[in-house]
């Protein structure tokens, strides 16, 4: 494969302050046989021309999982869903990567695991734009790397995860500007917007409990997990996240009222849309930044914080337009066995 990214060097310029070293890509290792799993739902889309066979391992209301689902729906891709229990995480015991989302893709010779919501989207988008390339080869352009973060701690990340690789010629100035804009807002969704959510949906003990009860309902936990585990996830999770949310507020430098931080983030996004004068950041149709921001916000749709957000900002018009766009492309959701 001769897959070339004209923008690849820019990633290293952006991250020049990191100390980057390669690390073993054990998480990306090809799996010869599919791990045992029980799909809870299937999304069937008759318009799917991707030739992809995907299983998404998720927490239903995880913002990063919601991002991946939003992408798959926007691209009219069929996929299976495995709801992972947040306590025991039995469904992903086969993986060295212990976070969600994980996407398992059927490829020649076995199954290719994909992880990190942003990398998953970039890898799949690269594949869709150039189906002459094999998914197993595309993954090689997104290696796992180890670096020293701002706190001086060693951590890992996926290199190039905000970049779409392609064989096309160098774009003109307008195309390059659009790509840079899309990439910057995808980063903003991951580094700013998502960090305003937890301090808001777990703001008080009562709000945390309301949030977890909504998680239980929308995630179908009672259909998937034993009652004792549901109770532990709801009541134990609500108590734990209320405590943790205070630390997250401090960690992500959210000063003052957490609701205002959420409102400010939404206003930053809608301000960019107004400046462009288009329905979506991508213009007449959503781009990857629109999909990412929508996916993140959809994770709190049933929470009090989201209702407050709609009432106190003008995010609603864009959000509703995104939902209509998603619904027009999304496949049918079927419970397994239906």
pLDDT tens by residue, 8-48:
323 333 333 344 454 445 557 889 998 888 899 999 999 99
pLDDT value at residue 168: 66
Q: What distance in Å separates the CA atoms of residue 68 and residue 120, rounded to the nearest whole number?
A: 7
Dig out the tokens for 297 from the structure. Answer: 């916000």
Give the residue-averaged pLDDT of 283-305. Answer: 97
Q: Which residues contact 19 (CB under 8 A, 6 or more apart)?
A: 147, 148
Tell me the β-bridge partners of 338: none
Asked if residues 120 and 112 have their Cβ atoms less than 8 Å apart, the reply is no
Q: How wide is the angle at C-alpha 119 spanned by C-alphas 48 and 112, nearest 5°? A: 65
Dig out the tokens for 152 from the structure. Answer: 């001086």
Question: 137 versus 21: which is more confidently predicted?
Answer: 137
Give the residue-averaged pLDDT of 278-294. Answer: 97
Asked if residues 284 and 245 have their Cβ atoms less than 8 Å apart, the reply is no
pLDDT exceeds 90 at position 258: yes
pLDDT value at residue 18: 47
Strands (DSSP E) contained in 84-153 are 102-107, 110-115, 144-148
pLDDT value at residue 186: 98
Model confidence pLDDT, tens digit, residues 139-172: 999 998 888 877 788 888 999 999 999 776 667 8
pLDDT exceeds 90 at position 5: no
pLDDT exceeds 90 at position 132: no
């959000």: which residue's tokens? 319
Model confidence pLDDT, tens digit, residues 225-257: 899 989 999 999 999 999 999 999 998 989 899
Q: What distance in Å separates the CA atoms of residue 303 and residue 207, rounded to the nearest whole number?
A: 8
pLDDT value at residue 6: 34
Nearest CA to 295 among 60, 138, 2?
Answer: 60
Query: What is each CA distance from 283 to 47, 63, 182, 273, 286, in whole angstroms?
Result: 23, 24, 11, 9, 7
pLDDT value at residue 25: 54
Residue 41 — left, alpha, or beta (φ > 0 → left; ψ -120 to 50 → alpha)?
A: beta
Local confidence band at 223 (pLDDT 50, 70, 90 cut-offs): confident
Tell me the β-bridge partners of 56: 81, 103
**Residues above pLDDT 90, as percent of the chain:** 70
Active site residues: 59, 62, 64-65
Q: Coil, strand or helix: which one is 155?
A: strand
Q: What distance in Å separates the CA atoms of residue 75 and residue 326, rounded to the nearest whole number?
A: 9
Q: End-to-end alpha-carbon separation of the chain, Å?
A: 41
pLDDT exceeds 70 at position 124: yes
Give the residue-averaged pLDDT of 295-313. Answer: 97
Tell me the β-bridge partners of 103: 56, 114
Other beta carbons less than 10 A from residue 131's beta carbon: 12
Residue 27 — left, alpha, or beta (φ > 0 → left; ψ -120 to 50 → alpha)?
A: alpha
Dig out the tokens for 1 from the structure. Answer: 């494969």
**Residues above pLDDT 70, as percent of the chain:** 91
Q: What distance in Å separates the CA atoms of residue 334 and residue 167, rounded to the nearest whole number?
A: 37
Q: What is the pTM of this model?
A: 0.89
Give the residue-averaged pLDDT of 199-222. Answer: 93
Q: Is 79 exposed, middle or buried (0-12, 13-18, 19+ CB in 10 A)?
A: buried
Dig out the tokens for 276 from the structure. Answer: 């462009």
Nearest CA to 114 among 124, 102, 106, 127?
Answer: 102
Asked if residues 39 and 82 have their Cβ atoms less than 8 Å apart, the reply is yes
pLDDT value at residue 337: 54
Phi and psi at residue 171, to the nearest 5°: -70, 160
Model confidence pLDDT, tens digit, residues 175-208: 899 999 999 999 999 999 999 999 999 999 999 9
pLDDT value at residue 170: 64
Give the residue-averaged pLDDT of 268-287. Answer: 97
Model confidence pLDDT, tens digit, residues 48-100: 999 999 999 999 999 999 999 999 999 999 999 999 987 778 888 888 888 99
Nearest CA to 241 among 195, 194, 202?
Answer: 202
- Which parts of 88-165 fold into alpha helices (H)? 117-129, 135-138
Query: What is each CA distance from 154 to 26, 51, 151, 253, in whole angstroms?
Result: 18, 38, 9, 21
């Amino acid at each position: 494969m001769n897959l070339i990214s004209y923008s690849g060097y820019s990633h290293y310029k952006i991250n020049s302050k990191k100390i980057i070293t390669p690390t073993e890509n054990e998480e990306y290792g090809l799996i010869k046989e599919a791990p045992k799993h029980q799909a809870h739902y299937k999304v069937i889309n008759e318009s799917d021309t991707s030739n992809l066979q995907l299983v998404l391992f998720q927490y239903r209301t995880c913002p990063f999982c919601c991002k991946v689902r939003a992408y798959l729906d926007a691209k009219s891709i069929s996929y299976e869903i495995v709801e992972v229990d947040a306590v025991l995480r039995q469904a992903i015991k086969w993986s060295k990567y212990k976070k969600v989302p994980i996407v398992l893709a059927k490829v020649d010779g076995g199954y290719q695991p994909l992880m990190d919501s942003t990398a998953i989207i970039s890898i799949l988008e690269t594949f869709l734009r150039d189906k002459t390339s094999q998914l197993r080869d595309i993954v090689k352009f997104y290696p796992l790397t180890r670096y020293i973060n701002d706190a001086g701690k060693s951590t890992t990340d996926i290199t190039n995860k905000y970049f779409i690789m392609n064989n096309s010629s160098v774009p003109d100035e307008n195309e390059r500007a659009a790509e840079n804009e899309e990439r910057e807002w995808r980063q903003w969704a991951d580094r700013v917007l998502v960090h305003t959510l937890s301090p808001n949906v777990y703001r008080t003990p009562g709000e945390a409990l309301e949030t977890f009860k909504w998680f239980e309902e929308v995630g179908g936990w009672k259909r998937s997990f034993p009652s004792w585990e549901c109770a532990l996830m709801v009541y134990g999770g609500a108590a734990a996240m209320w405590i943790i949310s205070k630390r997250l507020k401090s960690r992500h430098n959210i000063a003052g009222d957490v609701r205002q931080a959420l409102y400010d983030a939404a206003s930053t996004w809608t301000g960019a849309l107004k400046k462009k004068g288009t329905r979506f950041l991508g213009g007449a149709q959503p781009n990857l930044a629109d999909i990412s921001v929508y996916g993140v916000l959809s994770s709190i749709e049933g929470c009090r914080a989201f209702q407050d957000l709609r009432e106190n900002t003008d995010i609603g018009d864009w959000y509703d337009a995104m939902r209509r766009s998603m619904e027009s492309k999304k496949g049918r959701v079927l419970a397994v066995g239906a």
